[in-house]
Amino acid sequence: MTSPDPQAVHTYLAALQQQICSALEDVDGEARFIEDPAEYPNRGVSWPRILEGGRHIEKAAVNFTHARGDRLPPAATARKPELAGRGFEAVSMSLIVHPRNPYAPTTHANLRFFVAAGGPEQKPIWWFGGGFDLTPYYGFDEDCVHWHQQAHDSVAPFGAQMYARFKDACDAYFFLPHRNEPRGVGGLFFEDFNALGFTRTFEMVQSVGDHFLPAYLPILGRRIETPYGARERDFQLYRRGRYVEFNLVYDRGTKYGLQSGRRIEAVLASMPPMVRWQYDHTPPPDSAEAALMTRYLTPRDWLSGG
Amino acid sequence: MTSPDPQAVHTYLAALQQQICSALEDVDGEARFIEDPAEYPNRGVSWPRILEGGRHIEKAAVNFTHARGDRLPPAATARKPELAGRGFEAVSMSLIVHPRNPYAPTTHANLRFFVAAGGPEQKPIWWFGGGFDLTPYYGFDEDCVHWHQQAHDSVAPFGAQMYARFKDACDAYFFLPHRNEPRGVGGLFFEDFNALGFTRTFEMVQSVGDHFLPAYLPILGRRIETPYGARERDFQLYRRGRYVEFNLVYDRGTKYGLQSGRRIEAVLASMPPMVRWQYDHTPPPDSAEAALMTRYLTPRDWLSGG
């Protein structure tokens, strides 16, 4: 049995961050990511990269962090109080992409690894978490099918039930109770996952990471040149409000970031570049905007014909 | 000693809602409030009024609610668990105004009354809460002094320490810990207040309500015609993000509304019409935008020369 290896996870996720940033710059063709690295002696590194105001990508944030410490703070271990006070490492890559074109969906992905020292005569405690999900403003069946096919293929080699389990977890997590709405069309979500042992679980996480660009780039590529006007832009900005509501009210990573005293700009780098709210917005019946709710923001099995 | 009288509070706050809406329509000169009333049998009424897309007022929401019930839900009484299960009435008027001109400040006001039936051989339990506060994007000393003078004058007849006490509470409440920033330049804030007996406390609440328009309208009037360009508009939209962050992360009324299953559109009617986020926004030194932080978003005694 292989020991959990945070440095191997670091190497993979840092390379993935680089690969994703390069690919997004290629898609945009104009804007470049800025870097805003910070190093905390004995506590780790934070490497946010931000692209704003691009031709096709209105905002993207791709963060890498590797935190370590001698003693886990109690706030970090609410669900596992027995870990408080132990040494730990946490490695994470997370991203969000807000395209400019309303026909191109927003996406979010996150992969993270946590390991805490074992107690006396105990092995280390570790797990992976993460996944990727898609939030369209205008729905296209072919995009949803492609997205979920890639999600499926990324985890299928690791267990027959993995996709269904992680898809259901994604639908459950990215949900706004106060709106009774899913945030998007889902994808994969897993937490506290170590069921396959370190080596095989890390292979699965790498497979998920490696499938992100093949899942997102074809969708982005076929939507970013679609002509649109004020109607579509208004709807996109309105729907982005749901993203803000989810991130500030429910998202565990954001809540933890707000409470932890981490760099607030890195924590809130996921916020959309421009957003609007409107009282009681109701799209015309049978419009594409209405179909977003009725056809797309409804959990659905996209791989068996919807 | 006069018994608490929710119907008298209803009459006053409903009239105040009408008066404020009329005054704001007069200022705008074009847009009108829509009404979206709802009545819940045996549970009360909700009368939101919303103005959107005005010439001077980009969005205003002025809500009146009168809720009643036979048994207080436990969630409503977290701070007073002994009240769970009792009959209650809650009357509230709350408003937010987002002017279009970046030189005109956003304002928020709220007045609310709560009464629960007493236990065996107990009198009813009641209190008032509320206040008003101001959130400029560009600071002007004369606006802050006028605002705080009106705040002071509204409560000064009711006790020498009232203004200082309610001003400090306002600064403490409208604060974003994750930014280490006040939301605005403050005003008045009080909670669970019944120290003067019902009659005199209600008089104080009416005085606060009656001072809102004299506090806000002169400021609004002298700022809404100020010429501005993309720089000021960008800064206003950026700063409105702080309003969203406060309301969704910290504001007790919003949090309660999100959890309560109340009409979500009325709960979130306070959200700004248009907002933007930008990574690590830093205004030029010595600019008016920098002065917002250094001079205005710093608790200050405006009535003794700042």
Measured CA to CA, the distance from residue A70 to residue A81 in angstroms comes to: 16
For the ranges B49-63, B182-196, B257-271, the lowest mean pLDDT is seen at B257-271
Helices (H), chain A: 6-28, 141-155, 162-173, 197-223, 230-249, 252-260, 264-267, 288-291
Residue reference for tokens 């063709």: A29
Predicted confidence (pLDDT) per residue in A53-69, tens digit: 999 999 999 999 999 98
pLDDT at position B76 is 64
pLDDT over 90 percentage in chain B: 84
Phi-psi region of B134 (alpha: psi -120 to 50; beta: other; left: phi over 0): beta
Predicted confidence (pLDDT) per residue in A275-293, tens digit: 999 999 999 999 999 999 9
For residue A251, give the chain B residue with the closest CA: B249
Closest CB to A277: pick one of B241, B271, B276.
Answer: B271
Measured CA to CA, the distance from residue A258 to residue B152 in angstroms comes to: 34
Predicted confidence (pLDDT) per residue in B25-70, tens digit: 999 999 999 999 999 888 899 999 999 999 999 999 999 999 998 8
For the ranges A199-203, A258-262, B238-242, the lowest mean pLDDT is seen at A258-262
pLDDT at position B77 is 67
- State the DSSP code for A104: S
Helices (H), B156-301: 162-173, 197-223, 230-249, 252-260, 264-267, 288-291
* Binding-site residues on chain A for chain B (CB distance < 8 A): 34, 36, 48, 50, 52, 59, 61, 177-179, 237, 241, 244-245, 248-249, 258-259, 264-265, 267-269, 271-280
CB B293 within 8 A of CB B176: no
Contacts of B258 in chain A (CB under 8 A): 177-178, 249
Closest CB to A258: pick one of B178, B271, B276.
Answer: B178
pLDDT at position A76 is 64
pLDDT at position B262 is 75
How would residue A93 be classed by pLDDT, with cut points 50, 70 and 90?
Answer: very high
> What average pLDDT does the segment A96-105 reach?
98
User: Per-residue pLDDT for B2 more than 80?
Assistant: no
Closest by CA position to A30, among listed A3, A57, A66: A57
Q: Do B244 and A244 touch (CB under 8 A)?
A: yes
- State the DSSP code for B160: T
> What average pLDDT does the segment A260-269 reach?
87
Predicted confidence (pLDDT) per residue in A206-262, tens digit: 999 999 999 999 999 999 999 999 999 999 999 999 999 999 999 998 988 888 777
Predicted confidence (pLDDT) per residue in A137-190, tens digit: 999 999 999 999 999 999 999 999 999 999 999 999 999 999 999 999 999 999
Q: What is the pTM of this model?
A: 0.94
CB B30 within 8 A of CB B51: no
- Give the mutation candidate from A277, A278, A281, A282 for the B interface (greatest B CB count, under 10 A): A277
Decide which of A15 and B119 is more confident.
A15
> What is the interface size between A and B, counted as CB pairs within 8 Å?
78
User: Per-residue pLDDT for B97 more than 80?
Assistant: yes
Residues 6 or more apart whose CB falls under 8 angstroms from that of B62 comprise: B17, B20, B21, B24, B33, B48, B49, B93, B94, B95
Beta strands at B44-52 and B38-40: parallel, antiparallel or unpaired: antiparallel
DSSP characters over B15-43: HHHHHHHHHHHHHHSS---EE--EEETTT
**Tokens linked to A189:** 């979500």
> What average pLDDT does the segment A80-105 reach?
92
pLDDT at position B180 is 95
SS3 call for B182:
strand
pLDDT at position B75 is 62
CB B194 within 8 A of CB B122: no
Predicted confidence (pLDDT) per residue in B266-296, tens digit: 999 999 999 999 999 999 999 999 999 999 9
> What average pLDDT does the segment B10-30 reach?
98
pLDDT at position B299 is 87
